[in-house]
Chains A and B, each alone.
Chain A
Amino acid sequence: MDLPDVISTLVRGARGVAAELLGVVILLIGAIVVAIAATAIF
């Protein structure tokens, strides 16, 4: 692997980690909404 390959792999990997972070954030927002609604109702 030469330097451009390493950089391109790191960029792709960072894109993957960012997508996973986005998934966690979306799930967390959903959880917050459900938790607020559930504690208000029950």
Chain B
Amino acid sequence: MLARPTIGNLHHLVHDLGRVLAVVAIAGLLPLGWAVALGEWGPFADILLMIGVAAFIAGLAEYAAPPRTASKVWGHGLIVVACAWLAVPAIGAIPLVLSGHYDGALDAYFDAMSGVTTTGLATIQDVDHLAMSTNVWRHTLQFLGGQGIVLAALTFFSASGALSLYEAEGRDQRIFPSVGSTARFIWLVSLIHGLFGISALTIDGVIAQGFGLGRSLFHGLTIFMAAFDTGGFSPQSTSVAYYHSAWYEVVVSVLMLAGAMSFGLHHAIWHRRRGLARNLEVRTFAATLGGTMAVMLIGLAVTGVFTEPAALVRRGFFQLLSAHTGTGFATVSSSELARWTGLAFAGIVVAMALGGMSSSTAGGVKSLRIGITVRSIVDTVRRALTPNRTVISRTYYQYGEHTLEPAMATSAMAISLLYVGLYLAGAGIALAYGYELSAALFESVSAAAAVGLSVGVVSHDMPTVLEIVMILQMWIGRLEFISVFALLGFGYAAVRGR
């Protein structure tokens, strides 16, 4: 029997959620400043309203639930994160719904959830004419989600129980002994990539695209946020294809790859640690990236979508990298992507489903879980095929030798299976609405693995139930199930606990 949550438990929950919403209010200052600089007074009022609502609720929470040192309920961090990732899109959707570019509040909430979960699927209409400051807010939501809303809150406010909050966001790698120093390193990596990415994209905007400096900076900033945080929102409806620039695609490719790498790997590269190529996660990511790339390119060659190898490589390479890193940028249209059938379809869907590395901004099953699952299966087969006395080493290398404990293998397999279930559940609902199997599966995997590529199912006129299912897929997939289970357990205990 579960213990019923106490008033003290709710006190902590309200307090921490208030802190998270305070971060949203602070983040709103960036698009607000942009609106002032450009004189976009309509969006200025919309964003100001959102900041006011977030700050008011945060203030109310601080007043009603001041900091306490009392013990917290088990799984407190998980519950806070699950609630935060529902509440932040609700507040973040305010400027979106007021922009007039959405059919209603659900569409705006879908886009905000897509942003916060770094998915990139969009129900917005006429994004090409959306005010720049509102566009900056959409991308800020994505950046916040990618960096980790709670991580951001931990940076601004020191909190007791910080470790449980940090891990609940799907980051199970502490690079430094304290969560605070790990958070600082994550921001530092983002800052360095921001300097590199925004500069390179802005220079291309000025020189190759012929944009003015302000417009180049806008495109550089928004595309950097979406690429490094593997989000995939774009200020243009044609995504990265809008720029017709190989340089842009190379810079974005580097940022997408950086976003899909774990922050532990960034730290190891920065400090010249040896043996990185032996890491199970690095090997698995390289193998699945290379394998799905080869399968997709062969599939494209067979179907004859591209007759020139140069076009095949340029489109195929970018699209597959975008899919595997969970970004969702496109250099081909949704209707063209729908014509990538056979092996090309299989390659890109599997790439989306597998995702990036753990403790990164990418979604999907994650390379470490795939590696551990495969290693565990291989060990089991070897044990079955060899004599009883033969000792089989159950170890793997990940920044050092580790023993592959049965509990770890079971956990990796369970989460992998849950992802497969989530992919199939969404596809089943889309099938029920009459979509083709390939389109239903593609879009479901894209939502649940936080990718954002689309073959046309997601739009402003999609069925309402399917839209709600995809919102849940994005939320559950981004939080990697455990936080959602903890919230459900908390709710059950509140009703039926003693």
Chain A residues at the B interface, C-beta cutoff of 8 Å: 9-10, 12-17, 19-21, 23-24, 27-28, 30-32, 34-36, 38-39, 41-42
Q: Would you call A38 and B301 a contact (CB within 8 A)?
A: yes
Pick from A20, A30, A32: contact of B261, CB below 8 A.
A20
Q: Would you call A16 and B269 a contact (CB within 8 A)?
A: yes
Q: How many Å lie between the Cα of A17 and that of B317 in the bound state?
A: 19
Q: Would you call A24 and B313 a contact (CB within 8 A)?
A: no
| Contacts known (A15-B269, A36-B309); A31 close to B316, Cβ less than 8 A | yes
Give me 6 other A-B pairs in contact (C-beta within 8 A), A32-B313, A35-B301, A35-B316 excluded. Answer: A13-B193, A20-B257, A28-B313, A31-B317, A34-B294, A36-B309
| Contacts known (A15-B270, A20-B258, A24-B257); A10 close to B192, Cβ less than 8 A | yes
How far in angstroms is the closest Cβ of chain A from B377? 26
Q: Would you call B192 and A42 a contact (CB within 8 A)?
A: no
Pick from B250, B269, B302: contact of A42, CB below 8 A.
B302
Q: Can you list 6 residue pairs at the A/B interface with Cβ under 8 Å?
A: A17-B196, A30-B294, A32-B309, A38-B300, A38-B312, A41-B301
Query: In the complex, which residues 161-194 of chain B have their Cβ closer than 8 Å to any Cβ of chain A?
Result: 188-189, 192-193
Q: How many Å lie between the Cα of A38 and that of B295 in the bound state?
A: 10
Kindly state whether residue B266 has any CB partner on chain A within 8 Å.
Answer: yes
Q: Give the chain A neighbours of B258 by CB distance below 8 A.
A: 16-17, 20
Q: Which residue of B lies closest to A13 (CB)?
A: B192
Q: Would you call A35 and B313 a contact (CB within 8 A)?
A: yes
Q: Would you call A31 and B298 a contact (CB within 8 A)?
A: no
Q: Would you call A20 and B254 a contact (CB within 8 A)?
A: yes
Can you list, as one digit per residue, whether each of B309-320 has a CB less than 8 Å from chain A (1) or not (0)? Answer: 100110011000
Q: Would you call B301 and A27 a contact (CB within 8 A)?
A: no
Q: Give the chain A neighbours of B300 by CB distance below 8 A.
A: 38
Q: How many Å lie between the Cα of A21 and that of B188 in the bound state?
A: 19
Pick from A13, A30, A42: contact of B301, CB below 8 A.
A42
Q: Would you call B257 and A23 a contact (CB within 8 A)?
A: yes
| Contacts known (A15-B269, A16-B189, A31-B316); A42 close to B293, Cβ less than 8 A | no
